[in-house]
Amino acid sequence: MRKYEDSIPLKLLKAREVTMGFFRPVLQEIPLTEQQWRVIRALDEYQELESKQLAEMCCILSPSLTGIISRLEQQDYIQRRRSPEDQRRVLISLTDKAKTMFETISPTLEARYQDITEQFSRENMEQLDKLLSQLCQIKP
């Protein structure tokens, strides 16, 4: 058995906490949770998605996503509409308020990425990105 400190899941959790330390303060000012931000970030990039697609893309369980979507809708950050091609499908997209907020906060978050890169190095960031992408492709 590996030593406790050598556990890959533990190291990934610790690395997540370190990196989120750069982003949490910015999100708390909005205020949004990390999960809410992931939903907004995905919708900004993909414009319109179904909740099942959002759940998979954002690594959020469907029951949790239901509450997140409801809260974002109450905050006027997202809107839902039925697909004109298939009335059973509900499509979720950002409101103008969310798009404005996203455009306002994105430069600050990008600056945080730069802070990480300065401390970790561009080469390490590129290598980490490549390795994590490869790790995500393996099957249990």
DSSP annotation string for 24-50: HHHHHHTT--HHHHHHHHHHHHHSEE-
Q: What is the pLDDT of residues 61-81, one digit of tens each?
A: 999 999 999 999 999 999 999
Q: Side chain identity at 25, as an amino acid letter?
A: P
Q: What is the largest CA-CA distance in the chain?
A: 55
Q: Among 17, 40, 24, which residue's Cα sits nearest to residue 108?
A: 24
Residue in 42, 24, 23, 34 with CA at minimum distance from that of residue 94: 42
Alpha carbon distance 17, 74 (integer Å): 29
Can you tell me the distance from the alpha carbon of 73 to that of 35, in angstroms, rounded to the nearest whole number? 14
Q: Encode pLDDT of 23-66 as tens digits.
A: 999 999 999 999 999 999 999 999 999 999 999 999 999 999 99
| Chain Cα centroid distance, residue 34 | 7
Q: Please check the confidence at residue 102 and state whether its pLDDT lies above 90.
A: yes
Q: Are strands 90-94 and 48-49 parallel, antiparallel or unpaired?
A: antiparallel
